[in-house]
Amino acid sequence: MNIDLNREAVTTEYAKLAPNYDSKWSVYIDATTEETVRRLPTSIGATLDVGCGTGALLAQLIQRFPNATLTGVDASTEMLEHARSRLPDEVKLHACWAEELPFDDASFDAIVSCNMFHFIRRPEVALAEMMRVLRPAGTVVITDWCHDFLSCKLSDFYLRWFDRSHFRTYGESQCRELLAAVHARHVQVDRYKVTWLWGMMTAIARKELSAAVCVPD
């Protein structure tokens, strides 16, 4: 697996999608960001959005948690440009990959990620990074396509052949296994549809108080 070529495919794809991304996928974006936000605690402090894209989830977080300190990261500079145009300067944005978060250990009270995980080539590394920068007892909420639904299985099969930016989708049991591997606790995975056809899942987990997360090579 050539990581550099796969990363180039992702950045190339989203450079093309960025100008029309929000309007093209508005129903899907609105539904999934809402599902993500409503599973967060009633109050959050420093919060990181991994794969923030055009900033749709961060914009919802501003409305719901006006006192939170928000940060977003994404691999696509074009998507981040659109995010900057809709977000206040107080929201910090960084270009980076989920497997290489540029933050100190235990920097955030909550971490969110929406509609991004099926692009990650090394999910165990990305999750370990999220847990590393999460504070003890912090919350992580991840929303993505769910392979347990037939529509996602078929899309996953097609995209693996015809879209180099896509990596793979996961089902509930695989999601639980990935989170268990990074010592996440109190894991809950909810499956649901955002349209009559399209199935999603949202995983909610906590970092244990004494967790020491080792990031895989």
Amino acid letter for position 206: R
CA distance 6 to 120: 9
Q: Which fold has domain 3-207?
A: Rossmann fold (3.40.50)
Residue range 86-101, pLDDT digits in tens: 999 999 999 999 999 9
- The pLDDT value recorded for residue 197 is 87
Question: Quick one: pLDDT band at residue 192, thresholds 50, 70, 90?
Answer: very high
pTM, two decimal places: 0.93
Average pLDDT, the chain: 93
Residue range 45-66, pLDDT digits in tens: 999 999 999 999 999 999 999 9
Residue in the structure block whose two tokens are 């180039």: 8
Q: Report the pLDDT averaged over residues 109-113.
A: 98
Sorted by where each begins, the domain ranges of the chain are 3-207
**How many C-beta atoms surround the C-beta of residue 153 within 10 A?**
16
Alpha helices, H only, 168-207: 172-181
Question: Quick one: pLDDT band at residue 188, thresholds 50, 70, 90?
Answer: very high
Distance between start and end Cα atoms, the chain: 15
Do residues 75 and 104 lie in contact, with contact meaning Cβ atoms separated by under 8 Å? no
- The pLDDT value recorded for residue 208 is 85
